Amino acid sequence: MKFACDKESLLNAVQIVQRAVSLKNPLPILGGIKFEAEDERVFLSATDLEMGIRCSFPAQVTQTGSSILPAKVISELIRRLPDLPIYIESDPLTGSTMVKYGQSEANINGYPVEEFPDFPMPESEIKFILPGDVLREMVRQVVYAAATDENRPVFTGVLLETGNGEMNMVATDTHRLAWRKINLEKYQDLNINLIIPGKTLNELIKICGSAEQNIEITVTDNQVLFNNGEVCLISRLIGGQFPNYRQVIPGEYISRIRVSTKELAEATERAALLTRDGSPIIRLKISDNTLVVSVNTEAGRVREEIAVYQEGEPLQFAFNARYLGDALKTIGSEDVNIEFTGPLSPGILRPVADIDYLSLLLPVRLRDE
């Protein structure tokens, strides 16, 4: 492999694929980035065996070939190179790769190319296209509710479900749930049901660009590919059955408040300061168009009063402040509607004037109630 390129293109590509590099993995080669020089382009790829990222940039290739270089060293080196043309040449026998810049050069020992895990691009007829901004916003609004605990893998994923010209995304860690629906009129006959790892979707957010950039999604039995034209993000799918989320969303309410998202978020943050890290429980009490947020712990007390628009019965209940804060952060509207069906039933947060998004929070049962 021999090629010349500019620093910016190379650095950009390295920084993108590096997100799939697994530094903690016991398999050293997964700490590597694969370089492949083809006609006028160099392809970079990395994988942690669950997710893979592949991208390319233009280069003057004088000899095709490939090489696996340690991601940490190569990325740190390229970041620190002077703004000069860069010439890269690898020795196919030793795997050593020379990076030449000006009068200076670095020779980096690589991994054996044949040890790098196979990384095929998923191929399938099941494809659809979404605008980058729509997909990013949709993912952002649900992915936070996925579990991080690997014990029950289904809950670490996000359900992506299409049918009848609409697409739903849902995530839940069993304490909270987030659901988002969009129209998918162009794909009336697309019927898919996938569970995508939350970790992959957190990376997808970073490669989803503007409204003008379309993301092509290709689905196979056990993989999904997101392609924005420059970067390919490939992920395995999570097997198993996602719980029936429609069943847990209450259809009616006995109380509802409309409250400023920012005011409630700030009051929640302040109240949580006096709770213990492991148990950030805050109380909410609704009566007379006033919401009182309070905590009472060994460290002290907080009592916040917020004016709200109230319908239905007075009510009091308790929430995990972190979960409430997460839900408020993603709601995306100035005011939020919160619906309740009782002190021990879930609370439902909805943006005002948007019926296609909701966050559901289970209340916390307090000992003294």
Write the CB contacts of 293 (distance below 8 Å, at least 6 apart in sequence): 264, 267, 268, 271, 282, 283, 284, 302, 303, 304, 306
Contact pattern for a copy of itself over residues 1 through 40, marking x by CB under 8 A: ----------------------------------------
* CA distance to 68, 88, 228, 327, 361, per residue, from 320 (Å): 46, 53, 37, 11, 9
Among residues 23, 49, 273, 344, the one that binds a copy of itself under rule CB under 8 A: 273
Among residues 18, 107, 316, 341, the one that binds a copy of itself under rule CB under 8 A: 107
What is the closest distance, in whole angstroms, from the C-beta atom of residue 239 to a copy of itself in the complex? 39
For residues 225 and 217, is the Cβ–Cβ distance under 8 A? yes
Half-sphere exposure of 306 (CA within 13 A, CB side): 24
Three-state SS letters, 114-135: HHCCCCCCCCCCCEEEEEHHHH
By CB under 8 A, is residue 246 in contact with a copy of itself?
Answer: no
Among residues 29, 108, 182, 248, the one that binds a copy of itself under rule CB under 8 A: 108
Contact pattern for a copy of itself over residues 66 through 95, marking x by CB under 8 A: ----x--x--xx--xxx-------------
By CB under 8 A, is residue 257 in contact with a copy of itself?
Answer: no
Among residues 239, 301, 312, 366, the one that binds a copy of itself under rule CB under 8 A: 301
Three-state SS letters, 306-362: EECEEEECCEEEEEEHHHHHHHHHHCCCCEEEEEECCCCCCEEEEECCCCCEEEEEC
Among residues 24, 39, 103, 368, the one that binds a copy of itself under rule CB under 8 A: 103
By CB under 8 A, is residue 104 in contact with a copy of itself?
Answer: yes
Among residues 15, 62, 64, 109, the one that binds a copy of itself under rule CB under 8 A: 109
By CB under 8 A, is residue 106 in contact with a copy of itself?
Answer: yes
By CB under 8 A, is residue 334 in contact with a copy of itself?
Answer: no
Among residues 40, 105, 115, 311, the one that binds a copy of itself under rule CB under 8 A: 105
What is the closest distance, in whole angstroms, from the C-beta atom of residue 77 to a copy of itself in the complex? 5
Q: Would you state the torsion angle of the CA atoms of residues 48, 53, 57, 59, taken in this order, to the nearest 10 degrees?
A: 30
Q: Which helix (H) or strand (E) holds 237?
A: none
What is the closest distance, in whole angstroms, from the C-beta atom of residue 1 to a copy of itself in the complex? 16
For residues 98 and 90, is the Cβ–Cβ distance under 8 A? yes
Q: From 60, 51, 65, select the one nearest 232 (Cα to Cα).
A: 51
Total site size for a copy of itself, rule CB under 8 A: 30
What is the closest distance, in whole angstroms, from the C-beta atom of residue 3 to a copy of itself in the complex? 19
Contacting residues toward a copy of itself, per CB under 8 A: 70, 73, 76-77, 80-82, 96, 102-109, 266-267, 269-270, 273-274, 298-305
